[in-house]
């Protein structure tokens, strides 16, 4: 007889559950159509009576699929995203002889450490206070907690915490990725601020953007770079210089992207969108992970005229692959 454990009265939920369902489309439908390397998108919905609307909607879905394909390839899991967001993770870390603790993060590049709790168990976690924050060392994929802080202390702080076989349970929240969102309110030329949508649906913040951050407003021939004068106040971004062009928010599902996403990621999304569009109607199965197609997959891609797009995406995504996860 199969053993079935009795459910806990209070569920035990993983710390990363809240942030485990993030996703983003890395280009807009109009941005794709404006790209010189894009393929034609008219007639995506056969026999449609609303050519423009249905084509845009279908194209937006294809872009979403291409973006998710990029996430899976680079992060090897379903909850990775290049768009900056808050992630909460846990690990049992070893206190090094120097007293420091190194936390390995699943996502990169790390932009900000929000908070850290340490202790022998979840029921005995202690939040590290602001005195520690200034001494935290942030790497591309690691967070190093100092062994000493406050000038008056002369002993390794973490040595005073009860440990688990020499390890210390750590729960930590951080922001990783690039600021990436869409314009929510039309803006006129000369405006000194813009209003954007939150990083997460229903949220109130844009993550990964700070004073001095450079963002691109992706608006066809009116595309321009802006620099933030200060960290965002809610969803309003103050600009160091006035806008050069007007930006009118289009009807959905189209949008105007506001982002610091590297060019290589945007072009990879365009290339993978090409792959999906070129293979439509050929009864061809899309390859699995980008960069490892089988001989049969390569033949299917070649027949669809999509092999070059696929190989371009592989090369562009290679620098962004996460090499290890914990």
**Residue pLDDT, tens place only, 33-60:** 988 887 776 666 655 555 454 678 888 9
Residues 36 and 118 in one domain: no
Whether 192 shows a pLDDT value over 50: the answer reads: yes
Residues 68 and 148 in one domain: no
Helical ranges in 7-146 per DSSP H: 29-34, 51-75, 130-133
Residue 93 placed within a domain: yes
Residues 109 and 134 in one domain: yes
Instruction: Please say which residue of 126, 148, 176 terminates a domain.
Output: 176
In this prediction, residue 146 carries a pLDDT of: 83
Residues 146 and 170 in one domain: yes
Least confident of 188-197, 234-243, 316-325: 316-325
Beta carbons within 8 Å of 53's beta carbon, 6+ residues apart? none
Residues 41 and 54 in one domain: yes
What is the rounded (10 degree) CA torsion for 136, 138, 139, 142?
Answer: 70
Q: How many domains does the chain have?
A: 2
Residue 246 placed within a domain: no
Least confident of 150-159, 219-228, 243-252: 150-159
Which of 301 and 311 is assigned the larger pLDDT?
Answer: 311
Q: In which domain, by residue range, is 60 found?
A: 29-81+263-320
Task: Taking each helix axis as running N to C, give the angle between helix 263-279 and helix 307-317, from 0 to 180 degrees, rounded to the nearest 10.
Answer: 150
Least confident of 32-36, 95-99, 209-213, 295-299: 295-299
Residue 254 placed within a domain: no
Question: In which band, very low, low, confident or very high, does the pLDDT at 228 lie, cut at 50, 70 and 90?
Answer: very high
Residue 97 placed within a domain: yes
- Give the other-Cβ count within 10 Å of 233's Cβ: 10
**Residue pLDDT, tens place only, 115-157:** 998 888 778 888 888 777 888 999 999 999 887 655 444 444 6
Instruction: Report phi then psi at 117, rounded to 5.
Output: -120, 140
Nearest Cα to Cα of residue 178 among 247, 62, 84: 84
C-alpha 179: how far from its chain's center?
8
Instruction: Please say which residue of 176, 208, 237 terminates a domain.
Output: 176
Least confident of 15-29, 131-145, 226-240, 271-285: 271-285
Residue 193 placed within a domain: no
Beta carbons within 8 Å of 278's beta carbon, 6+ residues apart? 39, 304, 305, 306, 309
**Residue pLDDT, tens place only, 248-297:** 999 989 999 999 999 999 999 999 999 988 886 544 445 555 556 666 67
Whether 114 shows a pLDDT value over 90: the answer reads: yes
List b or e across 113-146, with b for residues whose CB sees 16 or more CB atoms inside 10 angstroms: beebbbbbeeeeeeebeeebeeebeeeebebebb
Average predicted confidence (pLDDT) for the chain: 84
Residue 69 placed within a domain: yes
In this prediction, residue 286 carries a pLDDT of: 52
Instruction: Please say which residue of 126, 144, 176 terminates a domain.
Output: 176
Token representation of residue 45: 């919905």
- Give the other-Cβ count within 10 Å of 165's Cβ: 6
Q: What is the mean pLDDT of residues 231-258?
A: 95
Residues 60 and 104 in one domain: no
Least confident of 35-44, 70-79, 234-243, 302-311: 35-44
Are 321 and 264 spatial neighbours (Cβ–Cβ below 8 Å)?
no
Residues 120 and 100 in one domain: yes
Tell me how far CA of residue 314 lies from CA of 166, 267, 289, 292, 318, in angstroms: 42, 11, 10, 9, 6
Residue 21 placed within a domain: no
> How far apart are the C-alpha atoms of 14 and 93, rounded to whole Å?
17
Any long-range contacts for 223-231 (C-beta under 8 Å, 24+ apart)? 226/194
Q: What is the mean pLDDT of residues 189-215?
A: 94
Residue 161 placed within a domain: yes
Residues 308 and 287 in one domain: yes
In this prediction, residue 126 carries a pLDDT of: 82
- Give the other-Cβ count within 10 Å of 275's Cβ: 26
Beta carbons within 8 Å of 317's beta carbon, 6+ residues apart? 70, 73, 74, 264, 265, 268, 290, 291
- Give the other-Cβ count within 10 Å of 219's Cβ: 23
In this prediction, residue 154 carries a pLDDT of: 44
> How far apart are the C-alpha atoms of 85 and 210, rounded to whole Å?
14
């Amino acid at each position: 007889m199969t053993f079935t454990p009795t459910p806990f009265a209070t569920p035990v939920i993983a710390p990363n559950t809240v942030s485990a369902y993030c996703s983003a489309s890395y280009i807009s439908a109009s941005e794709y159509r404006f790209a010189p390397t894009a393929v034609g998108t008219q007639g995506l919905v056969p026999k449609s009576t609303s050519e423009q609307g249905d084509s845009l909607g279908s194209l937006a879905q294809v872009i979403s699929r291409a973006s998710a394909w990029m996430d899976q390839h680079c992060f090897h899991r379903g909850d990775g995203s290049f768009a900056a967001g808050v992630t909460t993770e846990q690990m049992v870390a070893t206190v090094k002889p120097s007293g420091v603790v190194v936390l390995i993060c699943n996502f990169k590049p790390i932009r900000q450490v929000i908070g850290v709790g340490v202790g022998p168990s979840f029921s005995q976690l202690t939040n590290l206070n602001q005195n520690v924050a200034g001494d935290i060392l942030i790497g591309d994929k690691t967070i190093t907690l100092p062994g000493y802080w406050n000038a008056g202390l002369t002993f390794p702080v973490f040595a005073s915490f009860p440990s688990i076989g020499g390890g210390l349970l750590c729960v930590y929240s951080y922001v990783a990725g690039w600021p990436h969102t869409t314009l929510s309110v039309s803006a006129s030329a000369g405006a000194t601020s813009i209003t954007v949508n939150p990083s997460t649906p229903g949220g109130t913040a844009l993550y990964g953007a700070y004073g001095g951050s450079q963002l691109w407003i992706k608006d066809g021939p009116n595309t321009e770079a802006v620099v933030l004068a200060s960290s965002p106040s809610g969803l309003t971004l103050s600009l160091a210089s006035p806008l050069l062009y007007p930006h009118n928010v289009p009807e959905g599902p189209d949008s105007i992207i506001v982002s610091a996403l590297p060019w290589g990621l945007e072009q990879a999304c365009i290339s993978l969108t090409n792959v999906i569009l070129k293979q439509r109607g050929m009864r061809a199965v899309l390859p699995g992970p980008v960069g490892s197609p089988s001989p049969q997959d390569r033949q299917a891609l070649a027949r669809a005229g999509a092999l070059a797009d696929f190989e371009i995406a592989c090369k562009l995504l290679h620098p962004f692959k996460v090499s290890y996860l914990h």
